[in-house]
Structure 1
Amino acid sequence: MVGFGPADPGESSPCLTDVRLLLDQPVRVALEVWLERIPTLSLADPAAVTWPTGQVRGPRTLWLRIA
């Protein structure tokens, strides 16, 4: 059984970190394979990239040009 966090919210959890690493791995592999197959890409319009406010990370819109 995989633990998703400590019983006490004030404690850190190595189990939670391990689960996050496991979930990140398929995304990393997918991006690596995609970039191997489509090596030439660029931002279609760098000024059009928008970013969310708050705690969400990463761009909200990101238009790519695949050449």
Structure 2
Amino acid sequence: MSSPNSPRPAWRKSSSSANQDCVEVACLAGGARALRDSKNPEGPVLGVGSLEWSMFIATIKDGGLG
């Protein structure tokens, strides 16, 4: 995901998270995102392209996942 010369991604999770059962998101170059489980920060990371991320956010805002 990163080369030795690139900075480590800044991970964030929802401010409304009351416990550790969260998905953390990091912004990558070109609008892409990386996702990981906050309970396992050294575990696998899912990469999502900028178009897919935009579509995912639009779907959530439209109530399409509820």
TM-score by length of 2: 0.27
Give the number of the structure whose residues are more often strand, by fraction.
2
Larger Rg: 1
Comparing both chains, which one has the higher relative contact order based on Cα–Cα distances under 8 Å and sequence gaps of 6 or more?
1
